[in-house]
């Protein structure tokens, strides 16, 4: 032991003294930041500085009021800092290296704990509180890989905001094969920037990814980046990065929403490897592959909708295979020793706007004599800190009380670069930037320009009035600050941007709404007690102009933007400009009508835009609205509605009089993750809302919907005609009834009569040829799904109560008759009731096996969870059927305002099967249909993929044909071959066969009931 330690110390001494080729420091001196905590450590590469660095981070986590909330800023001075265990970067804490040379954090040779599995040098963590003292429950989801493992530290999650690291290098010395530099698992407004990773013997530089990263350089290691699905499942943008000399692959990942801009990959066997059994929404622009021996990209799951791969202007030299497909083995070869791939796409491709998709691989490449010079950085560098003038030095207070308008405007007028130290700078009028102004901060939650509610100049009816306004043209920069327009300022727009194509807005949060902290660091609750408005009734949702408004010829680069203010509409608006512009990773959420809007715009790119519609405010919102525009690229678009959503919406994207809109990699969904722990450990629970957007895109001008919600390619032409509806065996689709708010949960009795629910109005309906549409029961009992037992009783699943409730009623019986059914221990039942659709992809738990470095696939997770028996069940009055009691998760209050989630509550409907029967179900998280064998306790075993289509529902006719609802109704023969399609005027959600002879296909949509007669 002593000999080993002596060798390690000598090696560290050599390391500390040896010159290291490194990227230049971005912060050559420390900004004048009174609130910053500066690390006090030795920094000589020999001493163990772990405790000193962690102590500084812990102090910053206490926030501006010292109450353990809000986060803070840490400065790490120039030096070489050896660590021996994991550092935890708490929520909202940002750590920056300062000095003429970047500081380096070093993992010494053979540091204990970094030899097996996965061990992280630094972890983006969740709450620093070790335990909840009120409940003494263990922390849910402690991050695997902390050294030593700490079960009392929470992992970062979709609510972990603002954490960041910049201008600090990482070095892993010999003998640490399990080491990674950073576990980068976080959410909005997190980033890693300006880092050189000398990975050496280690596993990876970044493990997990989040939000956005820029100016990263990876050297050596098994991988540069090893990544799973990001914490909130948003796309991840990597900008201005290089990879060199990785042993296996520069990037290995799945479902990371990987968006690459100006990235170079050199001297490695594989550029980007998508894991076996998985897909990704992978988009690359200006990507270079040099000396990549096996493949530029390895594509897995090639015939699945979640595999969407595209490149634009990729360059390659000495890379003989551009793309290799894992399962089929086919390749897209290179075009010579050096070549340019002007365009490459693979995935579900829509030939016309209204058509269903086909899997295609399209590539356009050309031989070139040699690679051109490297691109200039996509993200402009900030001026040196020596040019930053603190607004405090010019009289601004930032105390959340003083009117700082005059002081800030004077600072802008008299200085090119103005630095905002942490503080809330209240203003009463517009701050006007010069053409070359650089307005910079280091923390958009803590360095904030605030417009107080009721500011006179922003009241009444009138044209928009900006909180901050750029000059026309020029190359202004706004970076690292928050802009807060309050909730009672109807004329306010947060940032009115008219600057030119070279300008930049980076790391800016539009405050007020979700994720907003008060001056004391406490988090604002943006809702009243029933989620229908702000807690202050005077603050009107949708009562202001856009938060970010680019107009009057404005353009430039907009990176890492977070715009969730419910008071604004929209979150980002681009209008009246042909100046080139580019959005790189924007999170735009919680608006009432529109998240992102374009009107009279050309020459823009929206790269990795993510939207989120919340249940309370966004029931009618569209994710992206494009009007009167052309030459627009939308790539790696994620249009999301939360599980809590209770209302249908027609489309994520709406188009008006627009053409040459190029969609690449579109992901429109409505799943959400929940996690909980009990005495049996932690469980992961991912659910799919019943109300994701019905269509991905609606071309309002031409009356065409794009039903596919996951696809790789769609171009919008200047003119288009709706496709001719498809049918099967001449079946005619007939509308039987409409006017429903959200129909579903249907079942058919032995006579073929259909029963279904309109949940919003708590009514149970029926349809038969004899009685037509009838109301079976009208009562406030929160019915969600139902099924029918052998005696004709309806077994109704209700969302009422902590664990839901099951009750039974007889159609036609007096309305006063109803039987509540308690759960009982599971036992063999004549027929088991199962959800027809599922969502299961393990978002909250790492899927990496640290022994083999392989990932558990979605199919394996689905099979594992489907095979778990349920301990209890609900048995119908006649004992003929049993509904297993799936675990129910609760969110919010215990009363009617709370939300309940379970496999049975979230399904569009139920199926039944006897033990040993092979039945069909769909898994939306894979977009696949499976068959499985029914067992005791609601298990399904022996799962087999039946079709690469699935999502909403599946039904089987008397001849064994299988009908799958996924945008339209797809018909398959018993062997799985697709043999036809039935197009429906609205998106089909639940399919059931009924009618007197069992050959009527009932098709439930949100708002109507359709039927089609299917012949023999």
Express each pLDDT in 705-753 by its tens digit.
Answer: 999 999 999 999 999 888 899 999 999 999 999 999 999 999 999 999 9
Radius of gyration of the chain (CA): 29
Q: Which residue has the tokens 């209302």?
A: 647
* Predicted pLDDT of residue 840: 74
Express each pLDDT in 898-931 by its tens digit.
Answer: 677 788 888 999 999 999 999 999 998 899 999 9
Distance from C-alpha of 174 to C-alpha of 199, rounded to nearest angstrom: 9
Q: Residue 11's pLDDT band (boundaries 50, 70, 90)?
A: very low
- The arithmetic mean of pLDDT across residues 664-688, rounded, is 54
pLDDT higher than 70, residue 1016:
no
Q: Residue 513's pLDDT band (boundaries 50, 70, 90)?
A: confident
In DSSP terms, 77 is beta-bridged to: 98
- The arithmetic mean of pLDDT across residues 666-676, rounded, is 65
Distance from C-alpha of 605 to C-alpha of 590, rounded to nearest angstrom: 22
- The arithmetic mean of pLDDT across residues 63-90, rounded, is 91
- The arithmetic mean of pLDDT across residues 107-117, rounded, is 97
* Predicted pLDDT of residue 904: 87
* Predicted pLDDT of residue 965: 97
- The arithmetic mean of pLDDT across residues 639-661, rounded, is 92
Express each pLDDT in 731-744 by its tens digit.
Answer: 999 999 999 999 99
What torsion, rounded to 10 degrees, do the Cα atoms 118, 124, 127, 131 define?
A: 20
Q: Model pTM?
A: 0.95
Mean pLDDT of the chain: 92
- The arithmetic mean of pLDDT across residues 19-48, rounded, is 92
**Of 102-116, 169-183, 531-545, which gets the smallest average pLDDT?**
531-545
pLDDT higher than 60, residue 673:
no
Beta strands in 578-732 (DSSP E): 581-589, 594-613, 622-627, 630-641, 651-656, 659-669, 671-678, 681-688, 695-699, 704-706, 710-716
Express each pLDDT in 751-767 by its tens digit.
Answer: 999 999 998 899 999 99
- The arithmetic mean of pLDDT across residues 160-175, rounded, is 97
* Predicted pLDDT of residue 514: 86
* Predicted pLDDT of residue 684: 38
Express each pLDDT in 547-589 by its tens digit.
Answer: 999 999 999 999 999 999 999 999 999 999 999 999 999 999 9
Q: Which conformational region is residue 938 in: left (phi greater than 0), alpha (psi within -120 to 50 degrees), or beta?
A: left
pLDDT higher than 60, residue 675:
no
- The arithmetic mean of pLDDT across residues 334-346, rounded, is 97
pLDDT higher than 70, residue 618:
yes
CB 829 within 8 A of CB 838: no
Distance from C-alpha of 529 to C-alpha of 894, rounded to nearest angstrom: 13
Express each pLDDT in 233-275 by its tens digit.
Answer: 889 999 999 999 999 999 999 999 999 999 999 999 999 999 9
* Predicted pLDDT of residue 689: 67
* Predicted pLDDT of residue 159: 87
- The arithmetic mean of pLDDT across residues 977-985, rounded, is 97
In DSSP terms, 977 is beta-bridged to: none
Distances (CA, A) of 378 to 344, 375, 998: 21, 8, 61
Cis peptide before 695 (omega within 30 of 0): no
- The helix or strand, by DSSP H or E, that contains position 58, with its residue range, turns out to be helix 50-61
Express each pLDDT in 578-614 by its tens digit.
Answer: 999 999 999 999 999 999 999 999 999 999 999 999 9
Distance from C-alpha of 223 to C-alpha of 204, rounded to nearest angstrom: 5
Q: Residue 841's pLDDT band (boundaries 50, 70, 90)?
A: low
* Predicted pLDDT of residue 843: 61
- The arithmetic mean of pLDDT across residues 793-810, rounded, is 92
């Amino acid at each position: 032991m002593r000999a080993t330690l002596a060798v390690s110390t000598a090696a560290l001494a050599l390391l500390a003294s040896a010159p290291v080729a490194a990227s230049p420091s971005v912060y050559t001196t420390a900004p004048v930041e009174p609130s910053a905590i500066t690390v006090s450590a030795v920094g000589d590469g020999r001493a163990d500085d772990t405790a000193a660095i962690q102590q500084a981070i812990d102090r910053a986590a206490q926030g501006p009021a010292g109450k353990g909330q809000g986060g803070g800023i840490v400065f790490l001075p120039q030096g070489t800092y050896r660590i021996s265990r994991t550092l935890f970067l708490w929520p909202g804490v940002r750590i920056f290296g300062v000095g003429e040379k970047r500081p380096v954090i070093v993992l010494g040779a053979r540091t204990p704990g970094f030899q097996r599995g996965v061990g992280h040098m630094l972890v983006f963590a969740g709450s620093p509180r070790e335990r909840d003292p009120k409940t003494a429950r263990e922390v849910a989801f402690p991050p695997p890989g902390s050294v030593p493992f700490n079960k009392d530290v929470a992992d970062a999650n979709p609510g972990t905001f603002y954490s960041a690291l910049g201008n600090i290098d990482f070095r892993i010395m010999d003998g640490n094969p399990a080491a990674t530099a950073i576990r980068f698992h976080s959410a909005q407004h997190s980033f890693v920037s300006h880092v050189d990773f000398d990975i050496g013997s280690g596993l990876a530089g970044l493990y997990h990814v989040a939000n956005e990263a820029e100016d990263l350089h990876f050297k050596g290691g098994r991988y540069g980046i090893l990544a799973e699905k990001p914490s909130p499942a948003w796309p991840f943008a990597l900008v201005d990065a290089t990879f060199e000399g990785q042993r296996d692959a520069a990037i290995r990942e799945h479902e990371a929403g990987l968006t690459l801009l100006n990235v170079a990959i050199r001297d490695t066997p594989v550029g980007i490897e998508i894991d076996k059994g998985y897909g990704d929404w992978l988009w690359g622009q200006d990507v270079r592959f040099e000396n990549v021996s096996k493949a530029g990209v390895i594509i897995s799951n090639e015939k699945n909708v979640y595999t969407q791969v595209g490149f634009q202007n990729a360059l390659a030299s000495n890379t003989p295979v551009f793309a290799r497909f894992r399962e089929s083995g086919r390749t897209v070869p290179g075009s010579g020793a050096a070549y340019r791939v002007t365009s490459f796409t693979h995935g579900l491709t829509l030939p016309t706007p209204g058509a269903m998709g086909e899997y295609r691989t399209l590539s356009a490449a050309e031989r070139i004599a040699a690679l051109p010079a490297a691109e200039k950085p996509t993200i402009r560098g900030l001026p040196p800190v020596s040019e930053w003038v603190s607004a405090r030095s010019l009289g601004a207070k930032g105390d959340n009380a003083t009117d700082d308008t005059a002081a800030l405007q004077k600072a802008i007028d008299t200085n090119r670069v103005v630095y905002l130290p942490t503080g809330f700078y209240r203003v009463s009028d517009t701050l006007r930037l010069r053409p070359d102004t650089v307005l910079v901060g280091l923390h958009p939650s803590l360095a904030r320009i605030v417009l107080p509610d009721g500011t006179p100049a922003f009241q009444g009816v009138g044209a928009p009035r900006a909180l901050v306004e750029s000059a026309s043209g020029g190359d202004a920069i706004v970076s690292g600050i928050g802009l807060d327009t309050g909730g009672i300022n109807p004329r306010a727009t947060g940032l009115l941007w008219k600057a030119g194509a070279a300008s930049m807005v980076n790391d800016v949060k539009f405050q007020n709404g979700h994720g907003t902290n008060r001056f004391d660091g406490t988090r604002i609750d943006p809702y009243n007690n029933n989620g229908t408005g702000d807690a202050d009734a005077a603050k009107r949702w949708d009562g202001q102009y856009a938060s970010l408004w680019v107009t009057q010829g404005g353009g430039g680069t907009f990176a890492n933007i977070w715009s969730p203010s419910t008071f604004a509409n929209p979150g980002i608006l681009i209008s009246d400009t042909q100046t080139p512009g580019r959005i790189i990773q924007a999170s735009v959420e919680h608006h009432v009508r529109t998240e992102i809007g374009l009107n009279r715009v050309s020459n823009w790119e929206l790269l990795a835009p993510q939207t989120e519609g919340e249940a309370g405010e966004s029931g009618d919102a569209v994710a992206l609205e494009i009007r009167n525009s052309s030459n627009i690229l939308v790539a790696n678009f994620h249009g999301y509605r939360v599980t809590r959503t209770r209302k249908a919406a027609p489309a994520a994207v709406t188009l008006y009089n627009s053409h040459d809109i190029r969609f690449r990699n579109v992901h429109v969904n409505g799943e959400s993750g929940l996690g909980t722990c009990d005495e049996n450990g932690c469980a992961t629970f991912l659910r799919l809302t019943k109300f994701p957007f019905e269509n991905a895109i609606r071309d309002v001008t031409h009356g065409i919907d794009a039903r596919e919600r996951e696809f790789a390619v769609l171009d919008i032409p200047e003119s288009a005609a709706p496709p001719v509806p498809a049918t099967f065996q001449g079946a005619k689709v007939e509308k039987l009834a409409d006017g429903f708010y959200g129909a579903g949960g249907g079942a058919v009795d032995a006579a073929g009569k259909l029963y279904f629910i309109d949940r919003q109005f708590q009514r149970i309906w029926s349809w038969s040829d004899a009685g037509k549409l009838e109301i079976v029961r009208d009562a406030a009992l929160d019915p969600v799904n139902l099924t029918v037992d052998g005696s004709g009783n309806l077994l109704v699943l209700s969302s009422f109560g902590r664990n839901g409730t099951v009750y039974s009623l007889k159609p036609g019986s007096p309305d006063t008759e109803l039987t509540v059914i308690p759960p009982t221990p599971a036992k063999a039942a004549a027929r088991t009731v199962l959800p027809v659709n599922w969502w299961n992809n393990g978002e909250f738990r790492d899927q990496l096996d640290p022994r083999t470095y392989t990932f558990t696939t979605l199919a394996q997770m689905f099979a594992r969870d489907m095979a778990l028996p349920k301990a209890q069940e609900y048995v119908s009055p006649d004992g003929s059927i049993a509904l297993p009691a799936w675990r129910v998760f609760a969110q919010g209050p215990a009363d009617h305002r709370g939300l309940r989630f379970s496999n049975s509550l979230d399904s569009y409907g139920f199926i039944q099967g006897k033990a040993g029967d092979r039945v069909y179900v769909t898994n939306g998280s894979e977009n696949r249909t499976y068959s499985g064998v029914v067992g005791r306790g609601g298990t399904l075993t022996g799962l087999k993929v039946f079709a690469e289509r699935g999502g909403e529902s599946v039904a089987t006719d008397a001849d064994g044909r299988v009908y799958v609802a996924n945008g339209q109704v797809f018909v398959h023969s018993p062997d799985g071959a697709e043999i036809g399609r039935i197009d429906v005027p609205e998106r089909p959600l639940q399919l059931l066969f009924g009618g007197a002879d069992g050959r009527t296909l009932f098709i439930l949509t949100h708002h109507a009931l359709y039927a089609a007669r299917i012949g023999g």
